[in-house]
Amino acid sequence: MSVHNLIESRLDPELAVVDEICPAGEPWVKLVRKGATFRIVDLEGNQAVDTLFFNPAHTPERYSATDTISRQRSLYLTSGTKLYSNFGNVMLTIVADTCGRHDMLGGACASESNRVRYALDTYAMHSCRDSFLHALAHDPLCEQLGLTKRDLPSNINFFMNVPVTEAGGLEFVDGVSAPGKYVEMRAEMDVVVMISNCPQLNNPCNAYNPTPIRLLVWESAEKGIAHV
């Protein structure tokens, strides 16, 4: 299935209230308020950005791949996609996307999946699951909300290309992103964003070279557009 609904943003990075770089292999956690716009930039191309969303007022509510897929009858994310929670509420809406397709099925790499996919000696290598667990154990916001590893659902893989075969299997293939591509979301409720910028060294889709990402937040679309 091919999805290409490319929409560019009008928001000015100079007006962002958050503008940070997250290195490959590191977690990133931030509270994004309702009405704010959140952008992830793939700085060098084909970097997988594993992402979760939680409702900070009621943490049992979190992003749900099942609800997002079933309510929109699509396996992929792009401009116009609404990200649903496990309570059936819209958490965010993708309002701009210059990549055109993002994965909801591949999940996060882990020690166990590394061993199965690549080799026994990759078991101890750092993974997205490890980054999520590190955030849960050390990030003050996660500690404040009482999140634990039992709260981790299936994640989005922004910029990752995971086609579904006719037999129902998954293929991890070369990405469709490129340097500078981005995806931008408007928060429809207060959300906690939890990211693992993937450290995977064994997958050729990123040329065996995990790279940093840029993360920006605007308070609102109105405050993000430069007026000449």
Q: 185-222 in b/e burial notation, b at 16+ Cβ within 10 A?
A: bbbbbbbbbbbbbbbbbebebbeeebbbbbbbbbbebe
**What average pLDDT does the chain have?**
87
pLDDT digits (tens, 9 = 90+) for 25-83: 999 999 999 999 999 999 999 899 999 999 999 999 999 999 999 998 888 899 999 99
What percentage of residues in the chain have a pLDDT greater than 70? 80
Dihedral sign of CA atoms 187, 37, 41, 101 in order = positive
The token duo for 18 is 């958050």
User: Could you read off the pLDDT of 21-40 as tens digits, one per residue?
Assistant: 999 999 999 999 999 999 99
For the segment 166-205, what is each residue's pLDDT rounded down to a tens digit? 676 666 666 789 999 999 999 999 999 999 998 776 666 6
Do 52 and 153 form a contact (C-beta atoms < 8 A)? Answer: yes
Asked if residue 24 lies in contact with residue 211, where contact means CB atoms within 8 angstroms, the answer is: yes
Whether pLDDT at 3 is above 60: no
pTM of the full structure: 0.90
User: Cβ-count burial of 228 within 10 angstroms (0-12 exposed, 13-18 middle, 19+ buried)?
Assistant: exposed
DSSP string for 115-150: HHHT-GGGTTS--HHHHHHHHHHH-HHHHHHT--GG
Radius of gyration of the chain (CA): 17
Q: What is the pLDDT of residues 103-140, one digit of tens each?
A: 888 777 766 655 556 555 554 566 888 999 999 999 99
Q: Is the pLDDT of residue 142 over 50?
A: yes
Check residue 112 and report its DSSP letter.
Answer: H
